[in-house]
Amino acid sequence: MMLQKKTSIKAKIGLSTITVWVKSKVKENKEGLTMATTHHRVTLLLLPLAVIGIFSSSPQVRATNVRIESFSSPFATNLATLQSQIGYNFTNINLLRRAMTHASFSQENNKALSIFGSHLIETSVSLQLLAKDIDTSSKALTRLIAEVSNVDSSCALDGNRLGLESVIRVSPKTDASNSAIVCGGFRAIFGAVAIDSGLVDEAIKVFWKVHGDRGGKLVSML
């Protein structure tokens, strides 16, 4: 009888011990689950910030930021003023940026646009003169083309009226007021207009607006 009581007491003690142990484990599990849940929530909150941080440091986003900043730069302001002066707004402003970039400043420069613009100007003069008088001599046509193509007396003069010496980007050691540089930039404008609009006539129209505004000898002859 005594043995049975002792066994019963030990069983109760053992059961109590197990119960306490189980409760402690349940508590630990709950706390662990709570901590895990909290950690998970914190992770979810921080993840978007991490993603934003990663993307904001990417080259593409940095490039975009540079472009956005460049919109308020002095160069961008000059380009806006120049568009107003010539009466043409570019759809692709990068074409005008290139037209106003000298070879000393960048490999992406206005050389090709300048050559194209020069041919457009010469074609325009030929068209205007021959349309007025088909019997114009080849000598007179050549002389007129040479006059409008002259760097100092015509091309650079028109460019200076637009203030291109303050717009064209050159290297620190290059003089932007040099007549050849101003003339190159002036011609490049019309090459850029033709490409941007897809119309040679549009470039020619802009040229005569700019050149005609000064009431020069060439205009009066035409």
The pLDDT of residue 24 is 53
Whole-number Å distance between alpha carbons of 58 and 55: 5
Q: Which of 146, 126, 149 is nearest to 136 (CA)?
A: 126
Over the stretch 158-206, which tens digit does the pLDDT of each residue have? 999 999 999 999 999 999 999 999 999 999 999 999 999 999 999 999 9
Over the stretch 87-131, which tens digit does the pLDDT of each residue have? 999 999 999 999 999 999 999 999 999 999 999 999 989 998 999
**Cα–Cα distances in angstroms (integers) from residue 213 to residues 76, 80, 85, 120, 158, in the given order:** 25, 20, 11, 18, 9
Whole-number Å distance between alpha carbons of 180 and 33: 77
Q: Break the chain into its structural domains and give their ranges.
A: 2-57, 74-221
Over the stretch 209-221, which tens digit does the pLDDT of each residue have? 998 755 444 444 4
- 20 half-sphere exposure, CB direction, 13 A CA radius: 6
Least confident of 30-39, 137-146, 156-165: 30-39
Whole-number Å distance between alpha carbons of 2 and 206: 120
Q: What CATH superfamily is the domain 74-221? A: Ribonuclease III domain (1.10.1520.10)
